[in-house]
Structure 1
Amino acid sequence: MNVSYRIATPEDTAECIALRGKTRENAFSIEQLEELGITLDSWKAGISDGSLPGYVGISEGRIIGYCFGDSEAGEIVVLALLPEYESKGIGKVLLDKMMESFRSLGFERLFLGCSSDPKARSYGFYRHLGWRSTGLFDDAGDEILEYFPNK
């Protein structure tokens, strides 16, 4: 399987939104994203102005996964992957690229919201990579994990 990676562009937004509804866990439809205030226009604007930088993974000419973050807060906002590309290291590469980008911006602490259910794939994924629980939860009920990239 040949996967290439690159910085996300505003033109990737529609494909990223469509992909989010096809994920195995934590899928969101276009309508559900809009209810959260995440629209095609808001996502494009975030990529354009640098507040929502991201990376995409591409295979056979289509986006198969992505990772985006909030460049003002150091938050990993979303990591999404099509189910048939799971467990192949692609999610880790996308996350690593976003984390490296944040390190280069000077962040000493990164954070994200993650399911607190040990049965969820994300629960073990992030912890295996060194992310630790803060003991706090966000408004969506997700556990807040943190990572210190320079330690």
Structure 2
Amino acid sequence: MIFREATTADIPQLQIVRHTVKENTLSDPARVTDKDCELYLTQRGKGWVCEVEEGIAGFAIVDLQEHNVWALFLRPEYEGKGIGKQLHNIMLDWYFQQTTETVWLGTGPGTRAETFYQKQGWRKAGTHGKNEIKFEMSQADWQAKR
């Protein structure tokens, strides 16, 4: 496994990963375009991938403009192997080197992602959108966790 910064050349594989997830699926897959991915990777923030022999197993992208985790997804066959946690840690280490702003994310209630974020030290902060839980992580909380 190789963890590295995501590039625009990775976008086709990022889309494959995003469309194979079993939870937090997109109601309309066309909503997240290749141009959106490019914007978040090159102008709004940064992303990372975990590369395996078969291609990209997972990725994470954080947005510095809205101060949120835009994406953290794994192909289902790579869940439970520590990849998500490693991507999460790389992403938040970088994020808090750039800003002291609290970062937030939204995820579906009752999902494995909800449990994952709670275990990583995220705090519930209400709701987001129609049916998502909003989580937040402050720089102080992240430093205490690390």
Give the TM-score normalised by structure 1.
0.85
Q: Which residue of structure 1 aligns with residue 13 of structure 2? A: 15
- 2:114 counterpart (110, 117, 123): 123
- How many residue pairs match? The answer is 141
Map of 1:99-114 to 2, 5 A cutoff? 99-114=92-107
Task: Give the Cα–Cα distance (whole angstroms) in 2 for the partners of residues 90 and 129 of structure 1.
Answer: 13
Which contiguous aligned blocks of 4+ residues in structure 1 show a shift greater than 6 angstroms? none
Matched-pair contact (CA < 8 Å) for 1:43–1:52:
no
- Aligned counterpart, 1:75: 68
Verify the 8 A CA contact 1:55 1:66 in the aligned structure 2: yes
SS in 2 for 1:53: strand
Q: CA deviation at 1:107?
A: 2.6
Structure 2 gap ranges (5+): 142-146
Q: CA RMSD in A?
A: 1.6
Q: Which runs of 5+ in 1 are unaligned?
A: none
Q: What is the alpha-carbon distance in structure 1 between the residues aligned to residue 46 and residue 37 of structure 2? A: 10
The C-alpha deviation readout for 1:61-99, integer Å capped at 9, x for no partner, is 511100111111220111100111111110000011111
Instruction: Measure how far apart 1:134 and its partner are.
Output: 0.8
Q: Which has the higher helix share?
A: 2
1:80-99 aligned within 5 A: 80-99=73-92
